[in-house]
Amino acid sequence: MLEIGNRQKTVALLILALLTLISRAPGQVQQVAYKAPSVDEKLAQSYRAMFDLKFQDAFKAADEAKAVAQDDPLPYVAQAWVAFFGELSRLHALRSEVFTTDDGFNARDSYAWEPANKKIFDGALDRAEKLAQDRLSHDANDPRALLALSLSNGLHGDDLGIFTKRDLKAISYIKAATGYSEKLLAQSPDSYDAYVATGMGKYIVGRKSAPVRWMLRLGGIKGDEQEGMKELAMAAEHARYLAPFARILVAFEDVRRNNPAEARKKLEDLHQQFPNNPLFLEELAKLNRTSARMNHQGN
């Protein structure tokens, strides 16, 4: 009888402890377990939403990143990237035909921004650059400031080069982006997002005619198409935020180099990651049409 009584007492105590735990205020339990996201987590969330064409979610995450670290320029760079990528999508400016032939690249269309997006783009880059320069005034090797200036100058160059085709002015921004990237990579070789700016710069200059490349080299601007693509390939594999963008360009280069199997693999992976973005299915369809045409000709 004594053993049964002790057992009943133990069960009663366990039930009482369980009821006490359940009756605790939900807010108290959540408060203990909750950990606020870091600025880098919010930035990663913004870029993921951007590549999946969820632009409102991307802007929201960038704004939340600003609130986490008000002196950090990188959330403003993310905001500019969302505006820029939104225009690339709206205008269908990012497509393999532009990048797979020299004629297609040099004869690419010029585009007009949607004014509201351009205002966001310019304002975000202006704020990012001011915050970055302020950080550099206290620490000339601040890695977040150097990355922000690399990416912001790269975006200015992409805007002028891709949208308005003001190539000479674009190249001046590319040179600035490359300088900041090289300084950052010298001290932080794992800052792979910086390779997006340097790789794009070398790739764009490398696609110019030989006389133009020679003139640019005299001005201290190096253009090496293969080296640029090598850097974009590193970004595609390892960059924290912009790996998908670099992977798109590397896939286009696979098409250009007549390596459809590698291009298809990259595009299929991108489609799996970002199913709301129709670009990847459209490019896969082009590959399939080309393959079918070649098979037909072979028969």
Residue 21 lies in a domain: no
Residue 110 lies in a domain: yes
More confident residue, 170 or 243: 243
Q: Which two tokens stand for residue 113?
A: 């921004």
Long-range contacts of 121-124 (CB under 8 A, 24+ apart): 121/80, 121/83, 121/84, 121/87, 121/155, 121/159, 124/76, 124/77, 124/79, 124/80, 124/83
Lowest model confidence (mean pLDDT) among 144-158, 198-212, 274-288: 198-212
Q: What pLDDT, on the 0 to 100 scale, is given for residue 107?
A: 60
Q: How confident is the model at residue 157 (pLDDT cuts 50, 70, 90)?
A: confident
Residue 205 lies in a domain: yes
Residue 3 lies in a domain: no
Residue 8 lies in a domain: no
Q: What pLDDT, on the 0 to 100 scale, is given for residue 5?
A: 54
Average pLDDT over residues 86-90: 94
Cβ contact 211:184 at 8 Å: no
Residue 25 has pLDDT above 70, yes or no: no
Q: What pLDDT, on the 0 to 100 scale, is given for residue 190?
A: 93
Question: For the chain, give me the number of helices (H) and strands (E)?
Answer: 16, 0
Distance of CA 105 to the CA centre of its chain: 22
Average pLDDT over residues 129-154: 97
Residue 16 lies in a domain: no
CB atoms within 10 A of CB 299: 5
Cβ contact 71:135 at 8 Å: yes
Residue 32 lies in a domain: no
Domain extent for 67: 37-298
Tell me, what CATH number does 73's domain have?
A: 1.25.40.10
Q: How confident is the model at residue 294 (pLDDT cuts 50, 70, 90)?
A: low
More confident residue, 218 or 78: 78
* Per-residue pLDDT tens digits for 247-293: 999 999 999 889 999 999 999 999 999 999 999 999 999 999 887 77
Residue 32 has pLDDT above 70, yes or no: no
Average pLDDT over residues 61-70: 96
Count of the separate structural domains present in the chain: 1
Residue 9 lies in a domain: no
Q: What pLDDT, on the 0 to 100 scale, is given for residue 7?
A: 58
